[in-house]
Structure 1
Amino acid sequence: MTHPARARGPVPAPALVTLGEAMAVVAATTPGPFAHGAPLRLGWAGAEATVAVGVSRLGHTAAWTGRVGDDAAGAMILAGLRAEGVDVTGARTDPDAPTGLTLRERRTADRLRVSYYRTGLAGSRLAPADLDEDRISGARVLHVTGITPALSATARAAAEHAVAVARAAGVTVSLDVNHRERLWSRAEAAEVLGRLLPYTDLVFAGPEEAALFVPDGEPEEMARALTRLGPAEAVLKLGAGGALAVTGGACHVRPAVPVSAVDPVGAGDAFVSGYLAALLDGSPVPERLRLAALCGAFAVSVPGDWEGIPHRTELGLLAAQDITR
């Protein structure tokens, strides 16, 4: 039996609702193999949680739903999200499964090796009954990723149910493909996420992820092909090559903001948080891409998943590097 992280009550629906897995992270702070006495950093991470943090830092209300263990790691995650202004009213502490764990070893200066301990643990036990349908229906955006449906049958059902509830209520549905080969095959991901695409309004993908659904080719044509599968808007994340968005027949291109990359982990989720925050601002697509690129640049410049995401008052710090401003 699970119980809420907080006593529940009437809470206004946040602008963004997301659901998924959050895990404790033990990361090396210097290059080299894991060994006794190696300097380590304790933290937490999760794709959807990172998006919620980014949207919150950029001035919009955000809520995260998921399960963590009834343990110190779970308490750390929920406290961290609350400290970032993220609503965790819908989060659950699960006394029957511990919080998942990620180990990050910086084996060499430019090679990261990651190990996940998540199978059967709290995050993968997310289920449709954990969702607050009223809060989803009252949100402006529901954001899901391809990680959650890959975790377990119940987590898949939760993601699919959340999309159905949002769609029925006219809530904008955002999907980041976020394919993880360690969780499922490309064929399975294409089948499951392909069923969600017609019910989404906005899809994010890298070129290899887009190729799960459409023929490999030039990024613009791949994005246009994605929009023919249902989403009105398709955004391709191109890493150091920037990003592009196709919507309403128009293609908008944005170069990356040049910075010194320190840690690439979480950059894609930071990019998504900027894009969705600008969407909630009511900004046009070029401004969404601009804010997304800035958030991605901030993220790769700082160690950690979400730690480097900027507050709105900090955006000017990279203005000189944003050559297309």
Structure 2
Amino acid sequence: MTGWKENTTGSVVALGETMAVLTPVAAGRPAPGNPLRAGIGGAESNVVAAATRLGAAGTWIGRVGDDDLGRLVVRELRAEGIKVLAEVDPHAPTGLMLKELRVGRPRRVRYYRTGSAGSRLSPADADRAAQAIAEADVLHLTGITAALGPGPRAALDRAIRIARAGGTKVSFDVNHRRTLWPDAEAAPVLRRLASAADVVFAGLDEAELILGRPAATDRPVTEAGGELAALLAALGPATAVVKLGALGAVAAHDGSLTYAPGHPVTVVDAVGAGDAFAGGYLTALLGGSPSEACLRTGNALGAAVTATEGDWEGLPTRAELTDMPAEDLGARFRGADHVMR
């Protein structure tokens, strides 16, 4: 593997679907008298937003419908300083996510993305953004896009080939969604994509799925996670990171394991925490930070997003992150039950 491209700030480009997000203003089901707040969210654009807030150059590649929700997606991402390379699809709507609140917190997330513009991603979308992919430091992809169908999977493959030809590193977050496809169908595809990446992110259960083996139950979770990370790295990635929820994360790199603990926070909205972790880790990596610092940055961003409403709105800027010493982060976010996914 070659080194990361020289760049004073680093650049991250991601390909995938970003949806409009509707969240009830008050707890309870959507109903008359309980208006819905509109926002946006998508695993890949969440990662780019995290990197951009920390000073990296960010680009999102995708498709949106020719509708107000698509214009909302584009407008919000551009407002974050993200370069948007989005094809406007006149034949399909922008995807939609609906959060249902219970006791003031999201308890269920429903997706309306069948037939959406994002589900119609194809190799042509990667080709249109070939220059941006080839010039970036890292291309970030997720298993969510792979789950959307043959066209999106082919788009991922094309993007990886473009990245390889341009010397761009490939980052892959497994992000397995059982609501989109079953384990038996997903496992071989996710394993292939993980094997083709330079950096892989997985939850404990996702690592188990790809490797086809459960984590050891006779040892501490951190040790079991480290073993799975090492096995993931053996598939081909230079670095494999296994996220351990409240316990933090462990990374396998160059034959060694590194662990960093999580930060206790009160969970407000756990959606997007894993994306924030990946964005923080990658940005620290682009800056030349060692493995432990990358993990700590990822944990800090995951905690910040978990402690606030929205998929990405709570992401800290570089200045805010600097003001968040690891030992004080839990106190700053006033809580004790961090969950990252």
- Decide: shared fold, TM above 0.5: yes
**Partners of 1:303 and 1:243 in 2: how far apart?**
23
Shift of 1:109: 4.6
Distance 1:174 1:87 in 2: 19
Counterpart position of 2:121: 126
- Bigger shift: residues 193-202 or 140-149: 193-202
From 96, 99, 105, give the equivalent of 2:94: 99
Deviation at 1:108, TM superposition (A): 4.0
CA shift, 1:172, in A, is 1.0
Residue correspondence of structure 1 range 28-43 to structure 2 within 5 A: 28-43=24-39
Per-residue deviation, residues 253-288 of structure 1 (Å, max 9, x unmatched): 111112222110100000111001101111111111
SS in 2 for 1:73: helix
What SS does structure 1 have at the residue aligned with 2:210? coil
Q: Does residue 296 of the first structure (1) align with residue 291 of the second (2)? A: no
CA distance in 2, matches of 1:84, 1:261: 24
Taking the aligned partners of 1:137 and 1:268, their CA distance within structure 2 comes to 26
Q: Deviations over 1:137-173 (max 9, x none)?
A: 1111010000001112111100111112212332111
SS, match of residue 173 in structure 1:
strand
1:258 touches 1:321 (CA, 8 Å); kept in 2?
no
Residue 57 of structure 1 and its aligned partner are, at CA, apart by 0.5
Query: Could you state the TM-score of these two structures normalised by the residue count of structure 1?
Result: 0.92
Q: Is the 8 A contact 1:257 1:321 kept in 2?
A: no
Give the Cα–Cα distance (whole angstroms) in 2 for the partners of residues 263 and 65 of structure 1: 26
| 2:328 counterpart of 1:321 | yes
1:180 paired residue number? 177
SS of residue in 1 equivalent to 2:34: coil
Aligned length, in residue pairs: 309
* 306-315 or 22-31, which deviates more: 22-31
**Worse overlay, 154-163 or 107-116:** 107-116
Q: Return the offset for 1:34.
A: 2.2
Compare 102-111 and 79-88 and name the one that shifted more.
Answer: 102-111
- Aligned equivalents of 1:160, 1:108: Cα separation in 2: 42
2:106, 2:269 within 8 Å by CA — same for their partners in 1? no
Cα separation, 1, equivalents of 2:166 and 2:91: 34
Is the CA contact (8 Å cut-off) linking 1:29 and 1:40 kept in structure 2? yes
1:93-137: per-residue Cα shift (whole Å, max 9, x none)? 111111111111113455611111111111111111112222211
Q: 2:137 corresponds to which letter in structure 1?
A: R
Match of 2:12 in 1: 16
Tell me if the contact between 2:99 and 2:106 (Cα under 8 Å) persists in the aligned partners. no
Pick which of 23-32 and 61-70 moved more: 23-32
5+ residue gaps, structure 2, are 1-9, 216-223, 331-341
Q: Does 1:154 align with 2:151?
A: yes
Aligned-pair identity in percent equals 50
The CA distance in 2 between the partners of 1:216 and 1:29, in whole Å, is: 40
Question: 1: distance between equivalents of 2:305 and 2:203?
Answer: 17
Q: Give the unaligned 5+ runs of structure 1.
A: 1-13
Moved more, 186-195 or 300-309: 186-195
What is the aligned counterpart of 2:68 among 54, 72, 97? 72
In structure 1, what is the equivalent of residue 267 of structure 2? 261
* Aligned partner of residue 328 in structure 2, secondary structure: coil
The residue aligned with 2:214 is 216
Letter in 2 for 1:223: A
Alpha-carbon separation, structure 2, partners of 1:295 and 1:63: 19
Alignment of 1:105-120 (within 5 A): 105-109=100-104, 112-120=107-115
Pair 1:312-2:312 in alignment: no
CA distance in structure 2 between the aligned counterparts of 1:111 and 1:263, rounded to whole angstroms:
6
Say which SS state the counterpart of residue 148 (structure 1) adopts. helix
More displaced, 209-218 or 54-63? 209-218
Of residues 162-171 and 121-130 in structure 1, the stretch that sits farther from structure 2 once superposed is: 162-171
Native 8 Å contact 2:171 2:197 kept in 1: yes
Question: What amino acid is the match of 2:78?
Answer: R
In the alignment, the residues of structure 1 paired with residue 20 and residue 315 of structure 2 have an alpha-carbon distance, to the nearest angstrom, of: 19
C-alpha RMSD of matched pairs (Å): 1.4
SS of equivalent residue, structure 1 residue 106: strand
